[in-house]
Amino acid sequence: MIDRRSDDELVAICNVGDAIEAARAFETLYRRHRDFVLRVARRFTRDRDLALDALQETFTYLLNKFPPAGDGLTLTARLPTLLYPAAKNAAITAARKARRFAGPGDEFLDKLPAEPVAEGEPIDAALDALSPERREVLTLRFVDDLSLAEIAVALEVPLGTVKSRLPLALKELREDSRIKDLFEP
Amino acid sequence: MEPTTELPETLPPALVERLRRLDRSQPIVDPRTDRAVLAQATEFFHARPRRAAVRMRWALPLGTAAALLLVAVLMRPLLLDAPGADDIDGSGRVDILDVLALARDRAARGDAAGISDARIEELAYRIVALDSSRSLP
């Protein structure tokens, strides 16, 4: 059965509910946002197992916001905007650890591109040409459907930065000769 | 938060589709991770009933103490204004006859009685105030 309670309601139960209620509310939050966190983690690790580690780490971080470990959580923005930086940091940390402990023969980890490029796909090549910052904003806007204000919260940058990065990313794509025809009406 | 629409944010559908496909192409759901996260949450939240039990252990004594305090506050006027001190004529109740008894005692013994005018007036005032609060038959 789908739990239709809002994230705010579930967070409130995690803050003060009894053990069973709180665990159920947390499970709903986990199932609701797990795929988003996994997607984010994969973007920064490009590895399934590392992404799963980051997923677990992200929800441990969320768990520790609630009593008795934390003071309690008050959502001032949508939960994904809180989870995004946690997932990103956990993913980057997991990827760094993997590189640090990479044994002989694992050098390929250092050579992983930011995103896989499919040869002969002009769209992929154009997207790959974007800087990581611009691509990140583009992905948050058009894949994760976050508003500009939410992106600013998720990236922990001023709204003005997002407002300048997104048009620059769009402009760069529009001016890319490989996909120019996509923008023509 | 509603999406901001201050900027013309348009991307060709083919590009959006490609972005989404790149990002969501491989679902990596893992039941073991699910179980690990949820088991951790269950264990975490079970730390709280103990705190609740501690609160419950103190709830009864604290509640009793609060009730006793409330009773003491409510009974205070009755306890402090017990008839003993003002029941001059020993009738078991404090009324205008006690004021008269007090006045007579002072008149008979003078200053030796140690009864001041203020004491007589204060008792009379209190009795009149009490009487006026009663409903008339």
A&B contacts, CB < 8 Å? 121
**Between residues 82 and 101 of chain A, which touch chain B (CB distance below 8 Å)?**
none
Q: Sorting pLDDT into bands at 50, 70 and 90, what band is A107?
A: very low
Contact B41 A63 (CB under 8 A): yes
The pLDDT assigned to A89 comes to 93
Chain B residues lying within 8 Å of A115, measured CB to CB: 22
Taking the C-alpha atoms of residue A130 and residue A121, their distance in angstroms, rounded to an integer, is 15
What is the rounded end-to-end Cα distance, in angstroms, of chain A? 44
Q: Cis omega (within 30 of 0) on the bond before B27?
A: no
pLDDT: which is higher, A82 or B100: A82
Contact A52 B33 (CB under 8 A): yes
CA B91 and chain centroid, separation: 40
Task: Please state which of the ranges A35-49, A166-180, B98-112 shows the lowest mean pLDDT.
Answer: B98-112
Q: What is the pLDDT of residues B38-59, one digit of tens each?
A: 999 999 998 775 554 445 556 6
The interface pTM score, or ipTM, of the predicted complex is 0.77
pTM, full prediction:
0.62
Tell me the HSE value of A139 on the side-chain side, using a 13 A CA sphere. 25
Q: Which chain A residue has its CA at the smallest distance from B6's CA?
A: A163
